[in-house]
A and B are shown apart, each in its own frame.
Chain A
Amino acid sequence: MKRIIYIILFVLILALLLKSCIRRDIPDADISKTNVLKTENTVNYPPPAQTVTLDGIDYLQAQTPIGKYGGELITSTIGEGPKTFNIFSSKDATSSEMSGLMYDALFSTNPQTGAVEPKLAKNYEIKNGTVYIVNLRHGLKWSDGAEITADDVIFTWNEIILKGLGNTSIKDAVTIDKKLPKVIKTGKYQVQFIITKPFAPFLRIIGAPIVPKHIFKDVVKKGAKEFDLFYSTNTPPEKFVVSGAFKLKEYVAAQRVVFERNPNYYMIDKKNQKLPYLNKLVYLIVGDLNNEILKFEAKETDIISLKGSNVARYKAKEANSDYKIYNIGSDTGTMFIVFNLNKRKNADNKFYVNPKKQMWFNDLNFRKAVDYAIDRKSMVQNIANGVAAPLFTAESLNSVYLNKDIKGHNRNMALATQLLYKSGFKYGRNQKLYDKYDNKVEFDLYTNAGNTEREALGVMIKQDLEDLGMYVNFKPIEFNSLVNKMTSTLDWDMIIMGLTGSPLEPHDGKNVWYSNGSLHLFNQRTSRDTKDDRLDFEKELDTIFDKGALETDFKKRKELYDRYQQIIYNQKPIIYLYSPTRIVAIRKKFKNIYPSPLSGVIYNIEEIYEDKN
């Protein structure tokens, strides 16, 4: 007995000792969640870089303040790291980001306006909307000293992209009415891209990266399989011949990727000194978000993108820290619920959706009622910890095509009930909702299990809709089963999902909005569905997307895409919920940081420098 008391005492003392050793780092003051986003984004962007010709070489001159050479920036990437460094066979974001560092594209995007700006190309000219003349810079060199000429561009397009080697997404994007563009050389430094009819997204697409012909020419002859393995992660770093600001120095599986400066890079600063300033750029490969946070706190990394509750915690510590927090605006990701408007039958001649439910989902008043019953504000507060903004449009909030006239609305239960009454719904016992044929309003709401954010959303939506008297069975299921339901079996009622779009090009969403699109979520047609049963608003969407692709004038295009967002908002086949806000913390010692909602944080990595004082 005595011994037990001794042991308990020992443990208690030990625990107290340990407790006293722990540094307090959580501030006493309770930071209200609404304050988190108060800091407005007041970035003064530098003017765009300009072409300067020195000794016959067309340099690109950055207009940012002059920096200091040296130093290194350490960032992190979540997951298992890059799968390949071959920019044309990469199929995941990490591989694309890292190989993109090494291969500059013909054009880049203005971080502020989203306009197309020349990068590896010197300038461009469009004739009749179908002939794109691109002039290259004179005297640029690959990292091995060979000159960058029109031959490299022609080779990249005709032998890799248009042949369909590696990742075919660019080829898919430039296939217009099943026809491919022609790419021809019209001079040592000039190429022409010719298409049969105007296509608005074309300019941005031809701004793709260019690879060196003298390195790639042998492997393209060996076929797709060999091409996919070329420039894999096991290639010795000295074999890489690049045009970008950085060149691979070291890849250690599951640990890190290290890039060093490319001495032949063609950008210079205002003093005509060669960029980039940094000696090294390091990506640490971390397995998950928590580890990434720990690495930043242990000062092993310099940049971190913050989510949820961490934002408030970091904000509170910011004043006494060595980092600065930037609010770079809305993410391109959207979160939404989608109704299944499908009225067709499957191969076994059974309805995909129960006919009584078809009636509810195809009833605009029902969809509107659901929209008005949803409390976006409390979703933003409780699920996203205030680090998000309510969303009402199909385009994300940072899109250059965002329809700003759609103001949205607050939760309005009275209006929601009124809309339901209008369509003959009525309340029965226990305030449960019944339709006009006395069917109890009960349906399934799916999302993918394991995504805590969507699961929390599901619980809130269920609650919101049950306030309306609907009976919602919330079922989180495995991601792959959910995708299978959405794309093949089509036997679902309502789903909470998220998609990432492009803030620059609404046409990228064509697979979602075209009535025969492969991801036309709310009314998915299969290859068997040949009968034209498009809803009126689907027909209008089809014409808008057809016209939008042809229209090259930004203003006129914007009008078209404004209309499409208005249609989605009015018809509500998809109800948008919110868009997360991106918050990033960077160590203060790094200068020339101009975060942008369109381009992110280190898009101008060649201009960033480390100021040790």
Chain B
Amino acid sequence: MQIIFYIFKRILQAIPLLVLVSLISFFIIRLSPVDPLAELKLNPSISQETLQAEKVRMGLDKPLAIQYLLWAKGFLKGDLGVTTTGEKVAVKLMERIPNTLLLTLIVIFMTWICGLPLGILAAINWKTTLDRFLTVLTSIGMAIPSFFFAILMLIFAVKTSWFPVGGLTSYNFNEMGFFHQIWDVTRHLILPVTVLFTISLAGLQRQMRANMLDVLDSDYVKFARAKGLSETQVIFKHALRNAVNPMITLLGFEFSGLLSGAALTEYVFQYPGLGRLILEAVMKSDINLVMASLMIGATMLVIGNLIADILLILTDPRIRAKA
């Protein structure tokens, strides 16, 4: 019961936050000197009447405050509006969201499956060769900027022709058999996943290792060892449970990055995800599209944190008592 009340309270708190986010982003975009009609204005064959008609169609003839209210009214009704080229924003987003989710979910799944055990392993074998080896690897992962790594991978793909150059499916995807299709998508995913995996694995492994080291050094672990518990019991029952709390908060952030976290890599690999769409929208000041994506990002962050907090309540009795 208490938890339900808590969730309700958190959702209420999120509303003013979202309103504020939408206000700030709307005005920043609109006040910046970016004009969605600039290209048209420089086209010698466009008449003044056409330009005026376009202005009215995009609602640019109304005052800023009215434009915002119109947008907000539509948003509350679940209508995300149309892009500057007249396509429905919701449709455009839905075309891309599954692709981005496919990529980010695979990466998150793989990093957590590998990152946590490697972190624990490094902590247990502190200052041994294994730990040092992992440290070198993760340092490399943390040091390479993602876009640069992605470009290296693309060049690798071109030179070896083992992998396709970007994209998600081959041009003759529809004529392939089912298993061939799966293989095709896998082949396209290997490089972007490698890039994102290497980079996020590094952070996660370091975080887990540090937490674990912290806990292993604490009094209650020493006491558990002194009590004569087996090393497995000490680590998995006492140490791990305490070390995993900060990781749950991290998981909440990972959730918020599900749709937007891979934008740079997506762009370099020409991956048909949200990243490319939104980048283009920002460049062209396609306000409805940008606003929709920003609101999705903000909502995901709020939900992610909420999920993390709930998970924490479930795993940690101390927080449960406070809440």
B-binding residues in A (CB < 8 A): 3, 7, 22-23, 74, 79-80, 83-84, 89, 91-92, 168-169, 172-173, 228-229, 232-234, 250, 252-256, 258, 282, 284, 286-287, 291, 294-295, 297-300, 478-481, 483-484, 486-487, 497, 499, 501, 508-512, 518-519
18 further interface pairs, Cβ-Cβ under 8 Å (given A298-B157, A487-B41): A80-B280, A83-B85, A169-B50, A172-B50, A173-B45, A229-B86, A254-B270, A286-B270, A287-B270, A287-B276, A291-B154, A291-B165, A299-B161, A483-B35, A484-B38, A499-B44, A511-B46, A518-B46
> Could you tell me if B44 and A254 are in contact, using CB atoms closer than 8 angstroms?
no
> Could you tell me if B169 and A255 are in contact, using CB atoms closer than 8 angstroms?
yes
Chain B residues, CB < 8 A from A232: 87
Chain A residues, CB < 8 A from B34: 478, 480
A172-B49, A478-B34 known; A80 vs B154 contact (CB < 8 Å): no
> Could you tell me if B42 and A499 are in contact, using CB atoms closer than 8 angstroms?
yes
Q: Which 10 A-B pairs have the closest CB atoms?
A: A254-B272, A253-B95, A83-B85, A483-B38, A480-B35, A480-B38, A172-B47, A228-B86, A481-B33, A298-B165
Q: How far is the CA of A3 from the CA of B132 in the complex (A)?
A: 11
- A-B contacts, 18 of them at CB < 8 A, read A84-B87, A89-B86, A169-B46, A172-B50, A229-B86, A232-B87, A250-B174, A254-B272, A258-B171, A287-B276, A294-B155, A483-B38, A483-B42, A499-B42, A501-B44, A510-B44, A518-B46, A518-B47
> Could you tell me if B158 and A298 are in contact, using CB atoms closer than 8 angstroms?
yes
Chain A residues, CB < 8 A from B154: 291, 294
Q: How far is the CA of A92 from the CA of B154 in the complex (A)?
A: 30
Q: How many residues of B contact A (CB 8 A)?
A: 48
Q: Which residue of chain B has the shortest Cβ distance to A255 in the bound complex?
A: B272
> Could you tell me if A169 and B276 are in contact, using CB atoms closer than 8 angstroms?
no
Separation in Å of the A570 CB from the closest CB of chain B? 22
Q: Which residue of chain A has the shortest Cβ distance to B34 in the bound complex?
A: A480
> Could you tell me if B33 and A80 are in contact, using CB atoms closer than 8 angstroms?
no
Q: Is B164 an interface residue (CB 8 A)?
A: yes
Separation in Å of the B283 CB from the closest CB of chain A? 9
Q: How far is the CA of A282 from the CA of B44 in the complex (A)?
A: 31
Q: Which residue of chain B has the shortest Cβ distance to A175 in the bound complex?
A: B47
> Could you tell me if B168 and A298 are in contact, using CB atoms closer than 8 angstroms?
no
Q: Is B3 an interface residue (CB 8 A)?
A: no
Q: Is B267 an interface residue (CB 8 A)?
A: yes
Chain A residues, CB < 8 A from B33: 478, 480-481, 484
Q: How far is the CA of A3 from the CA of B129 in the complex (A)?
A: 11
The residue that A234 contacts in the complex, of B91, B158, B168, with Cβ under 8 A, is B91
Chain A residues, CB < 8 A from B51: 518
Q: Is B159 an interface residue (CB 8 A)?
A: yes
Chain A residues, CB < 8 A from B280: 79-80
Chain B residues, CB < 8 A from A518: 46-48, 51
Chain A residues, CB < 8 A from B155: 294
Q: Is B96 an interface residue (CB 8 A)?
A: yes
Separation in Å of the A529 CB from the closest CB of chain B? 14
Q: Is B11 an interface residue (CB 8 A)?
A: no
> Could you tell me if A168 and B49 are in contact, using CB atoms closer than 8 angstroms?
yes
Q: Mark B196-227, 1 if CB is under 8 A from A, else 0.
A: 00000000000000000000000000000000
Q: Is B319 an interface residue (CB 8 A)?
A: no
Q: Is B130 an interface residue (CB 8 A)?
A: no
Chain A residues, CB < 8 A from B257: none
Chain B residues, CB < 8 A from A483: 35, 38, 41-42
> Could you tell me if A297 and B158 are in contact, using CB atoms closer than 8 angstroms?
yes
Chain B residues, CB < 8 A from A80: 276-277, 280
> Could you tell me if B85 and A254 are in contact, using CB atoms closer than 8 angstroms?
no
> Could you tell me if A300 and B272 are in contact, using CB atoms closer than 8 angstroms?
no
Q: How far is the CA of A168 from the CA of B53 in the complex (A)?
A: 10
Q: Which residue of chain A has the shortest Cβ distance to B169 in the bound complex?
A: A255
Separation in Å of the A292 CB from the closest CB of chain B? 10
